[in-house]
Structure formats: C-alpha cells, structure tokens
Amino acid sequence: MDELMERLEAITAAGRRAEEMTAEWSTRQFVGRADEGRIVATADALGTLTKLEISPLSRKRLDARRLADEIVAAVSKAEEAAAAAKDELMSNLRP
C-alpha cells in the first residue's frame, strides 16, 4: 500500500509540474528577425503571428519582392522558435 501511495504522489507531482510548465510555455513569445533586424515578427507559443514590425528603412530600400521575402523569413524564424520550444516542452514532459 505504501508503494502505491508513493507512486500516486509521484504521478500527482508530475502532473502539477506538467501544468506549471505548460502554463509558462503558453505565455511565451518568440521573435524572428530579418533584414539586419529591421523586420521583426513575433509569434505566440502556438506559432501564430501576433505582431509584425517593419522599419521604414526596409520599406524604402527593398522592392516588393525582397520585402515580402524578408517578412516571410522573419515570420518563419519566429514560428521555428515556437516549434522548438514546443518540442522541448514535450520532451521534458515525457517520463
């Protein structure tokens, strides 16, 4: 009976730890930069774009095609950072 209680306590503690880790992860934001940091994309924990900042200098010096490519690069970096954090969280939750 003592062994079962210890196992139950360990499972309960692991569940609490998982909830805490997930809550912390879900509030994080991930940033991707392009065009020498002049284009900044921010994504939430799920990789959803929440903010995009484009410097006036980028708008002025890049043509439409290059500007689009740089925006996509910044967004991709933010999404990749969010995915990497999710993968790390999932690996830490596994026993």
| Residue 34: how many other CB atoms lie within 10 Å | 22
DSSP 17: H
Q: Is 40 helix (H, G, I), strand (E, B) or coil?
A: strand
pLDDT tens-digit profile of 35-54? 999 999 999 998 999 999 99
Closest CA to 40 of 78, 2, 87, 14: 78
pLDDT tens-digit profile of 61-92? 999 999 999 999 999 999 999 999 888 888 87
pTM equals 0.78
